[in-house]
Amino acid sequence: MDDHFLQPLRETLFDTKKVEVFLLREDMRSPWLSGNKGRKLKYNLLAAQTAHHRRLLTFGGAYSNHLHAFSKAAAAYSFEAIAVVRGEENAAAPSTPPSAIVPNKAHNCIL
């Protein structure tokens, strides 16, 4: 585990019970790959790399953080990324789609 993402929690009760408690700050790993997204993608990306795949495909909702993280992670591993955006268009949604569903050559993602 990456120790520099562990933050010690200090409380009198912990000291009294002689217990050390740490908080895993996954939000500090990356501005685009925080939380459990990194764990979910990491081993699939490594397996695809080991299998010498060049192109990856994923599915996600129109406002999905997964699609954004996937496109950035795929680019970081030098994969061509294909993202299928699923679901119905929401009339109440903003007129400008989020960056996760806008083709971005910098992320090498085809939508």
Distance CA 30, CA 109 (A): 19
Residue 100: count other Cβ atoms within 10 Å of its Cβ.
24
pLDDT at 88: 67
pLDDT (mean) for 45-54: 95
pLDDT at 102: 46
pLDDT band at 100 (very low <50, low <70, confident <90, very high): very low
pLDDT at 8 over 60: yes
Q: Please provide the average confidence, as pLDDT, over all residues in the chain.
A: 80
pLDDT at 104 over 50: no
Query: Concatenated DSSP letters for 29-94?
Result: S-SSS-TTHHHHHHHHHHHHHHTT--EEEEEEETT-HHHHHHHHHHHHTT-EEEEEEESPPPTTS-
